Copies of this chain bind each other. A is one copy, B any other.
Amino acid sequence: MDKEPTTATKQRMLDAGLTLLLEQGYHGVGVQAVLDAAQAPKGSFYHHFNDKEDFALQVVDAYMTGVHAALDASLSDSSRAPLDRIRGFFELVSQGYEHDGYLGCLLGGLGQELSGASDVFATKIDWCLGYIAGRLAEPLGEARARGDLTVAEDPAVLAQRLVECWEGAALHSRLLRDPSPLPAMLDFYFRAITRVPDDG
């Protein structure tokens, strides 16, 4: 972590960028809008960031900082069963969505918008989602070792599916501006990999 200290102005711009990019997307947000929201002049923007793309990438980094924190907070709690830890992670994430008015996931949003035209973003977002899946694979492996799972698939693969499912539910949540698809999808996913389905 040999990062420079990140001045207050830069942090304000990143914070504003997080909100604005989530709501309006990359091309929907002008540099000026970030400046206005962060109460900063243009000079500061181009002092701290090479260009708009660099800015957005750093916003993604800032977003991932929060994700890391949520992952660490949830997955390390060894008093809970592995699958419960995963659930805890997504509950934290959901709380973040609530705070933003249920606009879904920044990674999904920017990924959809930019990955068709920008390899840089496609690679970055894919890496981020893959990282999350990688972290979730560990408790999934634990769960399998404990015999909690009723499916035999590689935990890494199961984790990929989980993240994909979540992103799909997050899109629906964004369209509805409503959280309901999120826990519904989690329930569906966990039932799929654990309990034998019951047709009662």
Contacts and interface: CB of A to CB of B under 8 A. Distances in A.
Interface of A: 22-28, 103-104, 108-109, 111-117, 122, 125-126, 129, 147, 149-152, 157, 160-161, 163-169, 171-172, 174-177, 181, 184-185, 188-189, 191-193, 196-200
A189 B197 CA distance: 13
B175 A169 contact: no
B108 A113 contact: no
A contacts with B: majority SS = helix
Contact of A161 (B25, B114, B160, B185): B185
A60 B86 CA distance: 36
Contacts of A108: 112, 171
Nearest to A125: B175
